[in-house]
Amino acid sequence: EADIYQTPRYLVIGTGKKITLECSQTMGHDKMYWYQQDPGMELHLIHYSYGVNSTEKGDLSSESTVSRIRTEHFPLTLESARPSHTSQYLCASSGETSGIHEQYFGPGTRLTVT
Amino acid sequence: KNQVEQSPQSLIILEGKNCTLQCNYTVSPFSNLRWYKQDTGRGPVSLTIMTFSENTKSNGRYTATLDADTKQSSLHITASQLSDSASYICVVGDRGSTLGRLYFGRGTQLTVWP
């Protein structure tokens, strides 16, 4: 069982609200990731970080922002939520073993914007 | 374009039976191929990881194969159990970046009936 946590697990909010999805890991991994997943669809990388003070946008355009002030913490923020943001958000971290970056996923946050 | 295609999209089998899931990919340059199990509402959990030099790897009742020449992989599940009901995702990593970028398939939704 990987030591990576996400809160809240479920969130229903109204349009225009600001929200922050929390992600933390206790494995000391430098690399962390945020993915977005819709039902029956593949995971899409929306943000990643190589380490503290490093953040990059992923393949899928997202209106969210991230920060990495501490190694273990990688929160994702939506300044003004819209119904199009309704999705599952998965956080992951990776450590290198024999040249392969094994990614460990959190349980996800199911976001619904009404 | 780097893509990962999985088949079938969904599969229903009876408890105790075996099944095989397929994965074709076009990711290049290839680094590794992973199979993840994702229970409903949860994050993916790694089952196997194979590099180009490996053509088979087992994890309990799960056996993955890789043919790097034809860019195909399969996941064989033996003596299925009700707890095997989940989405099985094929993921291919490239070695073209220090991030270790992953490309995700849409998954095969497996349902095991008693």
pLDDT digits (tens, 9 = 90+) for A46-74: 999 999 999 999 888 788 999 999 999 99
Whether B103 contacts B91, CB under 8 Å: yes
Nearest to B49 among A6, A44, A100 (CB): A100
Structure tokens at A88: 């599952």
Q: What is the mean pLDDT of the segment spanning B83-92? A: 97
Tens of pLDDT, residue by residue over B34-51, are 999 999 989 999 999 998
Q: Which of A101, A102, A108 is nearest residue B43 as measured by Cβ atoms?
A: A108
Can you tell me the distance from the alpha carbon of A91 to that of A80, in angstroms, rounded to the nearest whole number? 20
DSSP string, B22-68: EEEE--SSEEEEEEEEE-TTS--EEEEEEETT--EEEETTEEEEEET
**DSSP classification of residue B81:** -
For B104, the token pair is 């995700």
Output the pLDDT for position B61.
97
What's the rounded Cα separation, in Å, for the pair B104 and B90? Answer: 6
Distance from CA of A106 to the nearest CA of B (A): 5
Q: Residue B98 has what pLDDT?
A: 59
Residue pLDDT, tens place only, A5-19? 999 999 999 999 999
